[in-house]
Amino acid sequence: MVACTAPGAGFDHEAIVVGGGQSGLATAFYLLRAGVDVLVLDDQPGPGGAWRHAWPSLTLFSTAGFSNLPGVPMPAHEGFPPARHVVDYLAMYERRYRIPVERPVRVGRVEALDGGGFRVHAAVPDLTWTCARVIGATGTWSAPFVPAYPGRFSGRQWHSANYPGPAPFAGRSVAVVGAANSGAQIAAELLEDPDVGEVTWYTRHAPRWMPDDVDGRVLFRRNRERFREIAAGRPDPGSDSRLGDIVVLPQVRRMRDAGRLTATPMFASLSQVGADHLIWCTGFRPALGPFRGLLGGAGGAGRRGADPHEPVPGLHLVGYGDRTGPGSATILGVGPYAKQTACAVAEAVRDPAH
Ligand code: FAD
């Protein structure tokens, strides 16, 4: 086990960010501006976070102008940008702000040190770092969620996290499960591909389409309002449930308006699903594995009633959607949370008695 030693304060770094996607980069941006000595550890071979693994046709549900991290805006792009455009943006962002990222480094666990601070253990390669504060920004992509259903499915199962596009489903029947954006987008893509066999879209409730003229901008505006209310100590006004769940992107709209993107009530047992393939579009969970020892158990919440942004003293979480605040898992929405976290960390490392 090789410890990386460096001068000053007894720790290798004042702060270590685990995860180099948009959440980690936005937080590092503010930490660097506050003069905090920070290192980002990321397990991917290159920049872009989970956007590197998006299915080929995935686009943003917001335009480039509504998908900016703090600092430099996302470069313009006609319509809804593809995931590739986001990867290029995050790569440029890292370079422009000289964000120190070590990759690929897979963090296995983070332990609290007696007397304060943390030791971050990388599983691959076999290295450790010490720091005064640690920030979890590991996202959700590496923790796809599949609900448990009785029965047995005889075909091949996939999750949206590893959906490769329509090619493998040529001539085959496909069941798509999930009533949110991924389910609608993947079902629409498969329905529109003439080579793919029968497609059945299973949902637990009728699809809640957003108004056709609404895209991510409306959601982000609402999230920003909610952030301001919560930050001011007032109750969260909640999401605008009248809005619906599904952004009606062009392909979704074509298949819906052609009467082909129609939902089938959920099966009670997997044995009832006769398709060749089943694609779970059932979301993700926060990938908090490295912090399990600190949080207590599987995805524990830390101290009861703890602050979701710092569930354990010195461990900060950024970018985990509902767990860390409305909009925190979106490109435009993560900024205020990143700034709030960086301010808390900068204050703490300046005044250790803090
Ligand atoms: P990630 O992008 O997942 O980055 C986390 C990084 O940490 C990754 O590189 C990961 O490999 C790494 N990591 C994880 N565990 C470890 C570990 N143990 N050690 C080291 N590194 C680790 N948001 C929008 O704003 N607009 C959209 O249109 C939009 N569309 C979406 C469509 C889909 C299908 C999904 C799933 C999400 C979408 N989002 C969208 C939400 C959000 O922007 C993305 O999920 C984004 O990837 C979240 O960024 P992040 O930095 O929090 O996490």
Q: Residue 229 falls within a domain, yes or no?
A: no
Q: Residue 3 falls within a domain, yes or no?
A: no
On the question of a cis peptide bond just before residue 311, with omega within 30 degrees of 0, the verdict is: no
| Residues 261 and 321 reside in one and the same domain | no
Say if ligand 1 is within 6 A of residue 88 CB.
no
23 C-alpha to ligand 1 centroid (Å): 8
User: What integer is the mean pLDDT of 271-288?
Assistant: 97
Q: Residue 5 falls within a domain, yes or no?
A: no
| Residues 291 and 274 reside in one and the same domain | no
SS3 122: strand
* Per-residue model confidence (pLDDT) at position 238: 79
Nearest atom (ligand 1) to Cα of 59: 28
Place of tokens 């389409």: 209
pLDDT tens sequence across 12-37 = 999 999 999 999 999 999 999 999 99
| Residues 60 and 75 reside in one and the same domain | yes
Q: Residue 300 falls within a domain, yes or no?
A: yes
Say if ligand 1 is within 6 A of residue 107 CB.
yes
Q: Residue 251 falls within a domain, yes or no?
A: yes
* Per-residue model confidence (pLDDT) at position 239: 76
Burial class, 331, CB count within 10 angstroms (exposed 0-12 / middle 13-18 / buried 19+): buried
Say if ligand 1 is within 6 A of residue 66 CB.
no
Best substitution site from 59, 138, 159, 292 to test ligand 1's pocket, by max atoms within 8 Å of Cβ? 138
| Residues 271 and 318 reside in one and the same domain | no
Q: How many domains does the chain have?
A: 2
| Residues 175 and 99 reside in one and the same domain | no
| Residues 135 and 29 reside in one and the same domain | yes
| Residues 264 and 331 reside in one and the same domain | no
| Residues 18 and 136 reside in one and the same domain | yes
| Residues 270 and 290 reside in one and the same domain | no
Nearest atom (ligand 1) to Cα of 54: 34
274 C-alpha to ligand 1 centroid (Å): 33
| Residues 24 and 135 reside in one and the same domain | yes
* Per-residue model confidence (pLDDT) at position 5: 37
Say if ligand 1 is within 6 A of residue 283 CB.
no
Q: In one letter, which amino acid is 160?
A: S
Instruction: Out of 262, 280, 298, pick the residue that ends a domain.
Output: 280
User: Alpha carbon 137 to chain centroid distance?
Assistant: 9
pLDDT tens sequence across 59-105 = 998 899 999 999 999 999 999 999 999 999 999 999 999 999 999 99
Best substitution site from 43, 89, 252 to test ligand 1's pocket, by max atoms within 8 Å of Cβ? 43
Instruction: Give the Cα separation of 235 and 226 in Å (integer).
Output: 9
Domain at 43, CATH number: 3.50.50.60
pLDDT value at 3 more than 50: no
Contacts of 313 (CB under 8 A, 6+ apart): none
Q: Tell me the pairing of strands 118-124 and 127-136.
A: antiparallel
| Residues 171 and 136 reside in one and the same domain | no
Burial class, 99, CB count within 10 angstroms (exposed 0-12 / middle 13-18 / buried 19+): buried
* Per-residue model confidence (pLDDT) at position 214: 81
Q: Residue 220 falls within a domain, yes or no?
A: no
| Residues 184 and 261 reside in one and the same domain | yes
Q: Residue 232 falls within a domain, yes or no?
A: no
Q: Residue 336 falls within a domain, yes or no?
A: yes
Here the tokens at position 200 are 């059945």
151 C-alpha to ligand 1 centroid (Å): 32
Domain that holds residue 274: 156-209+244-280
On the question of a cis peptide bond just before residue 125, with omega within 30 degrees of 0, the verdict is: yes
50 C-alpha to ligand 1 centroid (Å): 4
> What are 130's strand-pairing partners?
119
Say if ligand 1 is within 6 A of residue 106 CB.
yes
